[in-house]
Chains A and B, each alone.
Chain A
């Protein structure tokens, strides 16, 4: 397919306005077109998710709070990866490296600040660590991105994978004496301090309803709320990015790099922005992870984690924010829920062996489920509507037409951009 046809089809399928939007659309523009009923429903859902930990804590299902907090962190990671994979169409297999950079930066920055501020105020170091961790991840992405951004699809995959392994190995080997090796940080006697206001909240939010409901604020709930707020803010920012001039240029680069270049888009710059901005969200997730766990070690940053974050994006539906939310719930939630419910006795009164068998089998089931989910919905659970329109317009006919070797070579490039 020629560049001209390609451009025409992109413009006609998109509507002429979408490629030449002069400035960013107003914030939360989608909300305006939503019906009132849907708005109320969405509001109630968000409120329910926000208040959920109070019920979990009150009824004594504390494991659920931790699971949802971890799901929140994976949502942040996957939102960042979604920019790279879903919007800009590059395959990054080393997402966890930026998470690790954020987490360790939090320790390097947070511990000395917490020590300087003292026991009571130490937790305020989070607000210094959060932007610094994000920026450190951006910087690392920039340094890695400069040489490798021009690599074609699958070569970029292995480079990012290799880079993540380099980061993990350096952390595990206590590089420059900074990471304390496999034992992890903080070192004995150091700490990140108590989160600001937690003591006050603990003593002033205690209440009881009836005999079964007893609520007290805990550190888990505290970080649940912090993560919740971060996720909401990130979604707003990323939605606006997607609708901005930059977001349009990502879509154009993903669909056809040559055509995008012809339209005057600096493709290298657009890809670099996606990579660096994506890393930022990984970085802040890492910082929050550090503070939430109060401990980091290289064992948390393995290749499997990168693969799971990618699985969240793909199973949810590439380029789709609701997809990321559902995907994180499925990928990070399913194994943990199986284990948590089994040990909390939700499957009835099981003997101890049955409980351990259920939690042992959870990854086996999970692996099979991943295959099954892809077989049933290869486009993801909630595919992005814009992407699926684009696929119909450009992908399929190009594949059917190709007959010569030359066409096939083009197809290789093209399928990468259109169908990744």
Chain B
């Protein structure tokens, strides 16, 4: 029983991260009908930006203290209030920078291809992904970089700790925030209109380019937050860390019905749970197969619900 609860806790934590990344895939897909394979790299870049921002703010050997802001740095690392403010700054800075990178990539690599055959932007995305991975590999480091363990960890029973609670709560807050943004606000309305019919939305006076840019800002920003969580949770970042969380989050988005926001959230949590339970309950020596379980579930779900769990089944009319 203990192990079950423990794995559920782990599953929800992982699920929160997957859901945050999956939203990036699903948002872009919903609006452009394009699989943004470079999104996994947004997650990776986000983790690096988060790592450097955090080091800049907290490490005495880095930035702040050298700029003569020693007292500010002590305030950040020395008190609870300081920690909270510091993490808020880290998340906002990382989200904003990664979001801007996402917008830049859209501008350079995808916008010229908006009317091209559908596979062209996909290949472009793979190119961007290869470029970013190698840029980090060459210009930062090819080895894993340890993530600063500044977050105070309070251990609770059943494998629960303060970090996991923090990850889950922040993820849920962000997910609810995004849901509200898309369903209640003006820009959300514009996004929904664009995803339904780009041409008609344009005729109604919606600036398609800024809606798409907003999408490419929000997705990577959320992915970057997941990247920081990942770094804090596993304790290190590396240039190819994006690959597995990336395809799993994409799997999660498809599992829930790609293009559907709540589907991506549901899919993310489901996939995290499946993975954690597989780790906990596969016989010894078989834990390497945990990813097989996740993909098998995907294939089985799609066989019975070809549009994903919450996806509408599109009836093709002539």
Bound: A85/B120 CA distance, A = 13
Structural contact, B127 and A370, CB atoms closer than 8 A: yes
Is B170 among interface residues, defined by CB-CB distance under 8 A?
Answer: no
Is the Cβ of B291 less than 8 Å from the Cβ of A370?
A: no
A405 CA to B195 CA, complexed, in Å: 10
CA distance A315 to B119 in the complex (A): 10
Say whether B306 contacts A152, CB under 8 Å. yes
Contact status of A370 and B295, CB under 8 A, knowing A364-B138, A403-B197:
no
Residue of A nearest to B114 (CB): A378
Instruction: Tell whether B303 is near chain A: CB-to-CB under 8 Å.
Output: yes
**Would you list which residues of chain A between 358 and 373 have a CB under 8 Å from chain B?**
360-361, 363-364, 366-371
On whether the beta carbons of B254 and A158 are closer than 8 Å, the reply is: yes
Q: Which residues of B contact A364 (CB under 8 A)?
A: 130-131, 134-135, 138
Report A250-278 residues with CB < 8 Å from chain B CB.
257-259
Is the Cβ of A159 less than 8 Å from the Cβ of B292?
no
- Give A151 to B133 CA distance when docked, in angstroms: 32
Q: Is B89 an interface residue (CB 8 A)?
A: no
Asked whether, in the complex, the Cβ of A151 is within 8 Å of the Cβ of B302, the reply is yes
Chain B, residues 243-281, CB within 8 Å of chain A (1/0): the string is 100010011001000100000000000000000000000
Given known A-B contacts A303-B243, A369-B127, A419-B117, A410 and B317 have beta carbons under 8 A apart: yes
**Is B299 a contact partner of A163 (Cβ separation < 8 A)?**
yes
Q: Determine the chain A residues whose CB is within 8 A of the CB of B286 once the complex forms.
A: 173
Does B1 sit within 8 A of A, measured CB to CB? no
Is the CB–CB distance between A311 and B291 below 8 Å? Answer: no
Binds B, one of A27-35, A128-136, A164-172: A164-172
Q: Least Cβ distance of A160 to chain B in Å?
A: 10
**Is B318's beta carbon under 8 Å from chain A?**
yes
Q: Report how many residues on chain B are interfacial, defined by Cβ distance under 8 Å.
A: 56
Query: Contacts of B308 on A, CB cut-off 8 Å?
Result: 155
Partner of B113, one of A161, A378, A415: A378
* Residue in chain A with minimal CB distance to B290: A169
- Minimal Cβ-Cβ distance residue in A for B195: A408
Contact A173:B119 (CB < 8 A) given known A370-B124, A405-B196, A410-B316: no
A169-B288, A405-B196 known; A416-B118 Cβ under 8 A: yes
| Known interface pairs A311-B123, A370-B124; A3-B197 also in contact (CB < 8 Å) | no
Q: Is B289 an interface residue (CB 8 A)?
A: yes
Asked whether B258 lies within 8 Å of A162 as measured between CB atoms, the reply is: no
Q: How far apart are A420's CB and chain B's nearest CB, in angstroms?
A: 5
In contact, B317 and A419 (Cβ under 8 angstroms): no
Give, as a whole number of angstroms, the nearest-CB distance from B4 to chain A: 24
- Chain B residues lying within 8 Å of A307, measured Cβ to Cβ, are 37, 126
* Shortest Cβ distance from residue B279 to the other chain A in the assembled complex, whole angstroms: 14
Q: With an 8 A cutoff between CB atoms, is B108 at the interface?
A: yes
Q: How far is the CB of B5 from chain A (nearest CB, A)?
A: 27
* Interface residues as binary, A315-327 with B (CB distance below 8 Å gives 1, 0 otherwise): 1001000000000
User: Residue of B at shortest CB range from A172?
Assistant: B288
A367 touches B130 (CB 8 A): yes
> What residues of chain A lie closer than 8 Å to B292, measured between beta carbons?
165-166, 169-170
- Complex Cα distance A152/B118, Å? 14
- B289 cross-chain contacts in A, Cβ below 8 A: 169-170, 173
Question: Is B116 within 8 A of A374, CB to CB?
Answer: yes
Contact B196 A412 (CB under 8 A): no
* B199 interface contact, C-beta 8 A: yes
**CA of A165 to CA of B134 in the docked complex: distance in angstroms?**
22
**Identity of the chain B residue whose Cβ is nearest the Cβ of A408 in the assembled complex:** B197
Q: Are A378 and B116 in contact (CB under 8 A)?
A: yes
Q: A165-B247, A374-B120 are in contact. Are A258 and B318 (CB under 8 A)?
A: yes
Given known A158-B250, A165-B291, A364-B138, contact A378–B128 (CB-CB < 8 A): no
| CB of A91 within 8 Å of the partner chain | yes
Instruction: Name which residue of chain A comes closest to B130, CB basis.
Output: A367
Q: B92-120 CB contact bits vs A (8 Å, 1 = yes)?
A: 00000000000000001100110011111
Is B299 in contact with A159, judged by CB distance below 8 angstroms?
yes
A148-B299, A158-B298 known; A375 and B109 CB under 8 Å?
yes
The yes or no answer to B16 lying at the interface (CB within 8 A) is no
**Is A14 interfacial (CB-CB < 8 Å)?**
no
A172-B288, A409-B314 known; A158-B127 Cβ under 8 A: no
B21-57 vs A, CB cutoff 8 Å, 1 = contact: the mask equals 0000000010001010100000000000000000000
**CB-CB < 8 A to A406: which residues of B?**
317
- CB neighbours of A363 from chain B (8 A): 130, 133-134
B119:A375 contact, CB within 8 angstroms: no
**Please, which residue of chain A has its CB at the minimum distance from the CB of B131?**
A367
- Of A374, A407, A420, which is in contact with the most chain B CB atoms at under 10 Å from its CB? A374
Q: Name the A residues within 8 Å of B123 (CB-CB).
A: 310-311, 314-315, 370, 374
B288 touches A173 (CB 8 A): yes
Asked whether A85 lies within 8 Å of B131 as measured between CB atoms, the reply is: no
In the complex, A212 has a CB within 8 A of chain B: no
Given contacts A163-B299, A374-B120, contact A154 B196 (CB under 8 A): no
CB <8 Å contact, A147 and B303: yes
Most chain B Cβ neighbours within 10 Å, of A154, A304, A310, A406: A154
Q: In the complex, what residue of chain B is closest to A371 when comparing beta carbons?
A: B127
Could you tell me if A85 and B128 are in contact, using CB atoms closer than 8 angstroms?
no
Quote the shortest CB–CB distance from A297 to chain B (angstroms): 15
Q: Are B296 and A166 in contact (CB under 8 A)?
A: yes
Q: Is the CB of A413 within 8 A of B314?
A: yes
Chain B residues whose CB sits within 8 angstroms of the CB of A386 once the complex forms: none
Check if A157 is an interface residue, CB within 8 A of chain B.
yes
Interface flag for B15 (CB, 8 Å): no
B231 within 8 A of A: no
Bound-state Cα–Cα, A202 to B130, Å:
41
The CA of A402 and the CA of B307, in the complex, are separated in Å by: 23
* Interface contacts beyond A155-B302, A369-B127, A378-B113: sample of 20 additional A-B pairs, CB < 8 Å, sorted by A: A151-B306, A152-B307, A158-B298, A159-B298, A163-B299, A165-B292, A173-B288, A258-B316, A311-B123, A314-B122, A364-B134, A367-B129, A370-B127, A374-B113, A374-B121, A402-B197, A405-B196, A412-B314, A415-B118, A420-B119
Please name 13 pairs of A and B residues whose Cβ atoms are closer than 8 Å in the assembled complex, sorted by A. A85-B119, A162-B298, A165-B291, A166-B295, A315-B123, A364-B134, A364-B138, A367-B129, A374-B123, A374-B124, A378-B113, A402-B199, A410-B318
